[in-house]
Structure 1
Amino acid sequence: MVEQAETVRDVVVVGGGAAGLSAALILARSRRRVTVLDAGAPRNAPAQAVHGLLALDGLSPLELLRRGRDEVTGYGGEIISAEVAEVSRKSLGFAVTTRDGAVLHAHRLLIATGLVDEMPDIAGLRQRWGRDVLHCPYCHGWEVRDHAIGVLATGPMSVHQALLFRQLSDDVRYFSGDQELSDQDRAKLDALDIPVIAGGVAGLEIVDDRLTGVRLDDDEVVPVETVAVAPRMVARAEVFAGIGITATQHPVGSFIAADETGRTSVPGVWAAGNATDLSAQVGAAAAGGARAAAHLNADLVAEDTDRAVARLTNEESLR
């Protein structure tokens, strides 16, 4: 099928979370023809509220997205509920194919697909995720202040995580599992009165739909009210392999590499939010989307200007 210039969008944004919607808002306000493809699987859906977001602290994640969609469409942006199956390079830019077979063409692509939290294989962990199983002290730490908090050793950042949660509670316990503690890390935990509990973790103890403890392999139950865990954070990048976008591996997961403006190594492709910044909270993800959109729009303006100059030069040469 031949692409018609008038049917090609300026930008297709893949991902309808904070980063994608923020980018679309900036682009729509810049009078760009922008479409957001949203698969409807936000990372923070299990959480009851977004915290640490200035002026919107405590707002439901789903309500935040609803408001964002309304703002984008209010400026003429388009939002389509669809999952992307494939992205390919075309003469005028990119073709984005959805799972239901629709094809959208765009001059530029902005990836805001976020990431997937891969949880350790521990019974009950995934089911309690976003409730009393947490990972970010800045997102939900205040809500569990002074709780008995168990930190599960699941990766290279687990000791650091325990130190952060110790700021919020005097009762923090570190479940070392099969991970060896360095002398330096052990000294840090000891200095802050964080007991180290050895032995494998079999699962979480749930009573009346409430987390009451961590069950060890020997069936001992250590009482806790909250569990902190560091999941492996993996960028959703697979569908972009056809245009040369692949995930970069990191000790705690993977991400899509981009510069400070969001520009990737693939011409015409930008990335923003958790897909490119594993540590970004909602506010940072939204800011990243806005920043990438501004630079992306400037790139389009430069291209439009070059095209106009070439056209004028050509017309003058024919006179």
Structure 2
Amino acid sequence: MQHYDVAIIGGGPAGLTAAMTLSRSLRRVAVLESPADPRNAGSHGVHGILGLDGVSPAEYRSRAWSDLARYGMAELHETEAVDLVPDPRGGGFEVVTEDGGPFWARRVLLATGMTDIIPELEGFRECWGASIIHCPFCSGWENRERAWGVVTADPEFARKAPRAFAAWSDDVIVFTDGEAPAGDLGVETVTGRIRGLRHDGGDLRAVELDDGAVVERGTLLWQLDQRPVPLVSRLAKDRGLALREDCYVKTDGSCRTSVPGLYSAGDTITETQGAIESAASGSTAAFQIIEDETA
């Protein structure tokens, strides 16, 4: 069994930034990343990180591993972690993987991200990450000066949408996707259920409703429901990992979870899910791991 100072589950901005900080602190690190496409695979680019703005997610990972290779402390394992078994001898974890090859690590960082619940709508997957976006700060620039639709059943969010997104579009309407609005939202509102999306190669053209109506739009802001990845759900069920009511991993503000020696960073702990926020969270987790080791 291979031994590491830290096992990082997930190879996105949070996990890779933590791997860099730990590598430069001479910690031997295993980064476990599922060979399946990452959650942001459909994104046209990573934004907000100076010097890397606009690079594709694949290029971001390639550059990150090129940087990590200089230190020789981090190893990539393209496999999925399915369980963490606390070492009964007094510290550390056995990291169980889907291919059966276990690892042992003194500390583990969960940087798995979340699982988006994708609507089964014609055209959604083709547009997701390009003209259907989850975050205006991530993709608003690329969708500026287009007709926007905001898909939400949250009346407060709906009311502020035209002002909140005015920098990117002066034509913003709200789709409640079949939900009855709570009173007058003060914004143009479409209440019919969405049944499909018209697009040209992933470039949204219009929204089709159940009643046959077609509403022309160029961009949808759609913040999808999310659920934890299977590993996190299993740890919550079997290992005492505490989750918040909204299913994100509960931490103490320094990326420590309820399980001693287990940390969490990035999209697993917050709905604020930009690349730079995740990277900062990964750095915080790495510093806390090092501090806890020397306490």
Q: 1:267 aligns with which of 260, 271, 275?
A: 260
- Retained in 1: the 8 A contact 2:155–2:182? no
Query: Aligned AA for 2:240?
Result: G
Please say if 1:50 is aligned against 2:46: yes
**Structure 2 partner of 1:315:** none
Alignment match, 2:122:
123
SS in 2 for 1:255: coil
Residue in structure 1 matched with residue 222 of structure 2 by the alignment: 229
Q: How far has the Cα of 1:215 moved from its partner?
A: 0.6
Give the corresponding residue for 2:272.
279
3-state secondary structure, aligned to 2:86: strand
Q: Comparing 231-240 with 79-88, which one deviates more in the overlay? A: 231-240
State, as a whole percentage, how many aligned pairs show the same letter.
Answer: 36
**Given the alignment of the two structures, is residue 86 of structure 1 paired with residue 79 of structure 2, yes or no?**
no
- Residue in 2 that maps onto 1:102: 101
Residue aligning to 1:12: 7
Please state if 1:296 is matched with 2:289. Answer: yes
Q: What corresponds to 2:180 in structure 1?
A: 180
**Cα-to-partner distance string for 1:263-309 (whole Å, 9 max, x where unaligned):** 1111111110001122131011011101110110111123xxxxxxx
1:150 aligns with 149
Distance 1:35 1:156, change over 3 A: farther
For 2:216 and 2:191, how far apart are their aligned partners in 1?
Answer: 15
Q: What is the CA–CA distance in structure 1 between the aligned matches of 2:259 and 2:162, rounded to whole Å? A: 38
Q: Which amino acid aligns with 2:267?
A: N
- Higher share in helix: 1
Gaps of 5+ in 2: none
Q: Which has the larger radius of gyration?
A: 1
* Alignment equivalent of 2:28, drawn from 26, 33, 37: 33
Deviation at 1:151, TM superposition (A): 1.7
Where 2:7 maps in the other structure, the secondary structure is: strand
CA distance in 2, matches of 1:71, 1:207: 38
Unaligned runs of 5+ in 1: 190-194, 303-319
Q: 1:22 to 1:157 in 2, by over 3 A?
A: farther
Contact 2:240 2:259 in 1 (8 A): yes
Question: SS at the partner of 2:245?
Answer: strand
Q: How many residues are aligned here?
A: 287
User: Judging changes above 3 Å, is the alpha-carbon distance between structure 1 residues 66 and 208 closer, same or farther for their aligned structure 2 residues?
Assistant: closer
Q: What letter matches 2:222 in structure 1?
A: V
Tell me the secondary structure at the aligned position of residue 8 of structure 1.
Answer: strand
Letter in 2 for 1:20: G
Equivalents in 2 of 1:213, 1:261: separation in Å?
A: 44
TM-score using structure 2 length: 0.90
> What do you get for the CA RMSD once the two structures are aligned?
2.0
Tell me if the contact between 1:28 and 1:75 (Cα under 8 Å) persists in the aligned partners.
yes
TM (normalized to structure 1)?
0.84
Q: Which residue of 2 aligns with 1:166?
A: 166
Moved more, 39-48 or 277-286: 39-48
How far is the alpha carbon of 1:155 from its aligned partner?
A: 5.3
Select 2:63's aligned residue among 67, 70, 79. 67
Distance 2:180 2:32 in 1: 44
User: How has the CA–CA distance of structure 1 residues 208 and 42 changed in structure 2, closer, same or farther, with 3 Å as cutoff?
Assistant: closer
Residue identity matched to 1:26: T
Structure 1 residue 55: Cα displacement? 2.8
**1:246-265, aligned counterparts within 5 Å?**
246-250=242-246, 254-265=247-258
